[in-house]
Structure 1
Amino acid sequence: MGKKAEILERLGGIAPALRRYSRALCAGAGHTLSDELVQSALQSVGARIRARELRPADLQEARLEAYAALTASAGKRLTDASRPTPRHPPIVHGLAELSLDDRAALLLVSLEGMGYDAAARVLGIRREALLAQLMRARAKLGVVGLPPADAESGARRAASHLRIVK
């Protein structure tokens, strides 16, 4: 099996992580939309690989492309009408209050565990711009009652709040 075929075969294995990111990015908009975004992103990246428009060196590069495709699609398809309901946990409401750019930056780093350079690449921005978006997002979550993690006791607790979004 060639490298391209292996990457295409393994690309589907990132669907659970993409689904987690998509549902958090959609912040209460519904599972149907987030699942459609995942499917669309995977199909787009797969089609680009098959058409040789995209030649990823490895699965990690293809993964970043899938996140980028999903983020771009979300920007086009999410509307202000897609708001969380009162039954959603406070973190979902907090995420919904963020701009899509700030939300994506925060989720790529905090939820998906990407480094700053990889997250900036997914979003198509410079690292400095990503850091500014992260600062804004973290500050805004603090204003809505979700304090940013302190190095002492809250680091695990704050991260677990972000990880409960499915």
Structure 2
Amino acid sequence: MLFGKYKYTDSEEKELLDSIVILVDTREKVNDHITDYFDKHNIPYKKKALKNGDYSFFVPQNEKLGIFRDTYFHDEIFVERKASLEELSGNLSTKRADFEEELAVAKAHKKYLLIESANYEDIVNGNYKTQYNKKSYLGSIHSFNHKYNLEIVFMPDRAYSPIFIYGVMQYYLRNLIR
């Protein structure tokens, strides 16, 4: 990986960070609030089938900065987005084996689970519309966190999800190049 070997100037670092392209999994559904934000703020994104997660990024070729081909990070970092506690409860119950396999085979060392339209308190108090027992729900959340090194982020207002996704990717790259 070239990024750790070179020292970039402040202006080169800014150019590099501003150049990232967010990858959006082609199976990602009902995410207009995210892509609309990206469009409005001129954040480039590309739809691509991702093995794991719903969002990652790549740095496009920039020979001036020593990047001779597009460099993808989907095997290093991803964000898995769940639109609601109801969607997540399905992944933790009826679709659990598939969800666990996806996380178990993921090569990425930075994995985020972004849960929209909810907070931790909603699980504790059973404020969701499924039959999933709240004690089991909490146990699964904590178990997945430790078992798969999964950083869990609750986003009560989904309008902030694209800001979170973009920030996670930019700062991941920033820390690689510093």
TM over 0.5: no
TM-score where L is the length of structure 1: 0.27
Q: Which has the higher strand share?
A: 2
Q: Give 1 or 2 for the bigger CA radius of gyration.
A: 2
Q: Which has the higher helix share?
A: 1
TM-score where L is the length of structure 2: 0.26
